[in-house]
Amino acid sequence: MSDFVKAAPTFDLIDQPWLPVSRDGEMRDAGLREALLEAHNIDQLRDESPLVTAASLQLLLAIVHRAIDGPQSFDDWRELWNAGRLPKETVENYLDQWQERFDLFHPHHPFLQDASLPIDGPASTLDGMNKLLTGTEPINSLFHHDRSPSRHTPANPIDPAEAARRLIALQAFAISGGRGYLQTVRARGLCFQLLGENLFETILLNLLPTEIIEDEAVELAKLGQPNWELDTPAKAQTRRPRGLLDHLTAVSRKVRLIPEVDDGKLKVRQMAFAMGRTIELADKTSEPFSAYVTDKRRQQIGLDLDRAVWRDSEALFHFDREQSQKGTTYHGPATLKFVRELVHEGIIPDEMSFRLAVTGLKNTNAKVFAWRYDVLPLPVRYTKGGRLVEFLGEALRLAEDVALTLQRAARVVAGESLTFGTRSPDASAVTAMANRLAPDRLYWSRLEEHFYQFFERLAEIDKQAEHEVYTVALARWVHGPVRRTAWSAFSDAVVPLGSSARILKAVHKGRGYPGMKLHKLLESYVEPTSGEHAA
């Protein structure tokens, strides 16, 4: 039995547990106060949905930026880092000052919502909570398994903590769909966030000083105000950000959650919903947590379901827009540029290693159908660029060439398998069979673990700063993991074809293609005569 709440309901995000964290290896919820003041004792933010995890960090960054009114400079940042924890009094004073605005059901200023939306109309004017997952129709089964037949049919009720998590993810990652519904910057491309040893380090590593932000986007250099401080929210037509905090906390979808009591517990089943204000940067390659490839389209690097992020890792370490290859300019995330400057300023040593969380979603026709969350090792030395990144790029390009060779070998096998007598096989049938064999997909999935080992090893040998050492490492990479993985992927891909005489002949001919090509491709890399081949 459920009833709409008649007395003023409340859910205080500052002290009520709702934020997903890992502490001492255990998953639990924390309020904003605990998450910030105990950040040095919390492992990380961690939710089943990576969109919630990424949006949660974005929220914490906005609060800390505003509470400390900075950091303005590297010296400010160094002081925070050396303290080993966030300034307790400063953070508490800010949270206490604005605590009322962090109420999920405040009658006039509900957190990241719009109190002007009517909620007392007929049910046909309201939306079920399933829409809060993506902000558009249809329902997305990746995030929620409620199969309500209509957007207006009430979904199963959820508790306020879950509603809050979905709300912040929606505001950060809302996708396009329907007339006037525009997607956010986060929904267009991958989001890159650095991870430290604990939540405190993670917050600090993404807490960019004004000096860095000015270089990336002048319109974000001024902090401005977060959404919850505004008595009158900015109009939807005002798409230019009014500072970094406006960018981080913009209400991209107007939402008003409708609380009710279900079996004596506060729940949310429905909401009012409308298009909000989607931020658009003047310089479309200046969002500090994104990476860009700048060609004629000048676009963010987005999620490619057939391509793991590590395959483009070289692009992440280009920070100067004039650095280009074949007419294409790469521009890495400002967070990585910031790490480079921390090393240059002597604030952190270049022997340190962090991790890089990469979050993205794939959407089409107003529907999210996939998301990806990758965590890459990040030896700090890579941010310095130079020969280390050049050799990384060479290693990746070589791996790509080998994958292309495997694709062509699959076509050879398919063509021979489908040849009967003197009659040439149908081209579309050959393509279809080659795509089913797909030895390159096996190759990439198996090479990933080897790549991470090579990636970290290359950073280690960079300390020796000798060209010959790089060359030996590259030779071990191509003659070890790359070649072995390519052959095993090809061998396993053709197993389902069987062992008839015609198939064996086709496989033999197909195997000869990568054999010849690999020999030619790798002959310029002298195979090491001693030491392990594992990079």
pLDDT tens-place values along the chain, 535 residues long: 455 545 579 999 999 999 999 999 899 999 999 999 999 999 999 999 899 999 999 999 999 999 999 999 999 999 999 999 999 999 999 999 999 999 999 999 999 999 999 887 665 556 766 666 544 443 333 333 233 334 444 567 899 999 999 999 999 988 866 666 677 777 778 999 999 999 999 999 999 999 888 887 778 888 999 999 998 876 756 678 889 999 999 999 999 999 999 888 999 988 888 888 888 887 767 889 998 876 655 567 776 777 889 998 998 998 765 455 556 677 889 999 999 999 999 999 999 999 999 998 876 655 666 778 899 999 999 999 888 999 999 999 999 999 999 999 999 999 999 988 777 888 999 999 999 999 999 999 999 999 999 999 999 887 766 677 888 888 889 889 999 999 999 999 999 999 999 899 999 998 887 777 777 777 777 666 655 444 4
Give residue 535's pLDDT: 43
What are the residues facing 293 on neighbouring strands? 299, 330
State whether residue 444 is helix, strand or coil: helix
- Rounded to whole angstroms, the Cα distance separating 392 from 452 reads 11
Which of 347, 370, 447 has the alpha carbon at shortest distance from 187? 370
Supply 335's token pair. Answer: 């967070």
Q: Are 243 and 222 in contact (CB under 8 A)?
A: yes
| Interacting residues of 420 by C-beta distance below 8 A, sequence separation 6+ | none
User: For 479, which DSSP code?
Assistant: I
Rounded Cα gap, residues 93 and 334, in angstroms: 30
Look at the alpha carbons of 214, 219, 225, 228 in this order and tell me if their dihedral is positive or negative.
Answer: negative
Q: Which two tokens stand for residue 234?
A: 């900015």
CA distance 467 to 450: 22
Short-list 380, 185, 259, CA closest to 5: 259
Contact 288, 216 (CB under 8 A): yes
For residue 294, give the DSSP letter: E
Strand order in the sheet with 19-23: 26-30, 19-23, 44-45
Measure the CA–CA gap between 361 and 175, rounded to whole angstroms: 9
Q: Which residues contact 75 (CB under 8 A, 6 or more apart)?
A: none
484: left (phi over 0), alpha (psi -120 to 50) or beta: alpha
**Is residue 520 exposed (0-12), middle (13-18) or buried (19+ Cβ within 10 Å)?**
exposed
Of 340, 349, 348, 327, the C-alpha closest to 386 is 340
Q: What is the pLDDT of residue 368?
A: 65
Separation between Cα atoms, residue 63 and residue 339, nearest integer Å? 22
CA angle 244, 204, 65 (to 5 degrees): 35
Q: Which domains does the chain have, with CATH numbers?
A: 2-275 (no CATH), 387-522 (1.10.132.100)
Q: CB-based burial of residue 236 (10 Å sphere; 0-12 exposed, 13-18 middle, 19+ buried)?
A: middle
Q: What share of the chain is helix, strand, coil (3-state, %, to 5)?
A: 45, 15, 35
Which one-letter DSSP state was computed for residue 459?
Answer: H
Structure tokens at 481: 């993991």
SS3 state at 254: strand
Q: Which of 186, 183, 231, 161 is nearest to 16 (CA)?
A: 161
Show the tokens assigned to 500.
């008839």
Strand ranges (E), 91-230: 127-128, 191-195
